Amino acid sequence: MNLSDINTVRSLLQKNGFTFKKSLGQNFLINPEVCPAMADAACDKQTGVIEIGPGIGVLTAELSARAKRVIAIELDGRLKKILSVTLSDCENVEIIYGDVLKTDLKALIAEKFSDCERVAVCANLPYYITSPIVMTLLESRLPIDSITVMVQKEAAERLCAKVGTRQAGAVSVAVSYYSESEILFGVDKNSFMPPPKVDSAVIQLHIRDNPPVKVDSEEDFFRLVKACFAQRRKTLVNTVSSAAGIDKEIIKNALLKLGISETVRGEKLTLEELAELSNLI
């Protein structure tokens, strides 16, 4: 079955009485070039792949052909009947019905991928929870090598932005801390059914073995980062002192030690400067 063919998909959905749920970010890929390219970038025969939100299985089938095993987590139980047909030939695929954000991925990896050389995440993400999913994957320090995901173009630019540039946000700091990121390719909105309002892009995050900067406390570091980006127009001194309850003089002295102006805005600091500032205050 050609799951990228719009007429095939339409009749499959119609036959099963399936209607799209916008609230679940259901925009299915119908551009035949995208899923093979994502799967090629994400895995090989030694890889165990976690897919988030298989939909009708268009990416799942491509992953199945290239990976050792695929575990796909889908929240929408209405897709069960469809997936049992579309993936009936894919013996190395297992679907778990549930919320990815409530799934114990560490336990899942230990249970399902013990015979795989590496583990990767690959998905066309539901856009309403892009950041929570990416942050969960990064912060829970899962034994994964890479994350290859489709996200909205703007989110891709934000996630992969160099820290210290205008496009960067707190999430870009986390991405840089835990991984090396790149935007692989853009995807036009008409590649989806139904088409979303904006274009998308596929990004790849290669998980680092060790962070590129040394921080005394990750909790304090990320608290500082959140405070820095909370009110972007304010100076770092003002926003950090009010958000983190730190005396302004302590922050000014730390900036002085680092040779940074006390009127600097948080978004201007590099990853190294944020780490040093966090260690000082």
Residues that bind ligand SAM (CB under 6 A): 24-29, 52-55, 58-59, 73-76, 99-101, 124, 126, 129
Region class of 113: left (phi > 0), else alpha (psi between -120 and 50), else beta: alpha
Decide: 197 and 157 in contact? Cβ < 8 Å.
no
User: How far apart (Å, rounded) are the C-alpha atoms in residues 53 and 60?
Assistant: 9
CB closer to ligand SAM, 149 vs 171: 149
CB of residue 74 vs ligand SAM: minimum separation in angstroms?
Answer: 5
DSSP-assigned letter for residue 67: S
User: How far apart (Å, rounded) are the C-alpha atoms in residues 246 and 204?
Assistant: 36
CB closer to ligand SAM, 80 vs 206: 80
CB of residue 79 vs ligand SAM: minimum separation in angstroms?
Answer: 6
Residue type, 156: A
CA distances from 153 to 158, 183, 208 (A): 9, 9, 24
Dihedral sign from CA coordinates of 196, 96, 61, 3: negative
CB closer to ligand SAM, 130 vs 278: 130
CB closer to ligand SAM, 126 vs 169: 126
CB of residue 150 vs ligand SAM: minimum separation in angstroms?
Answer: 7
Number of Cβ atoms within 10 Å of the Cβ of 116? 18
CB closer to ligand SAM, 128 vs 219: 128
Residue type, 8: T
Nearest residue to ligand SAM, scored by beta-carbon proximity: 53
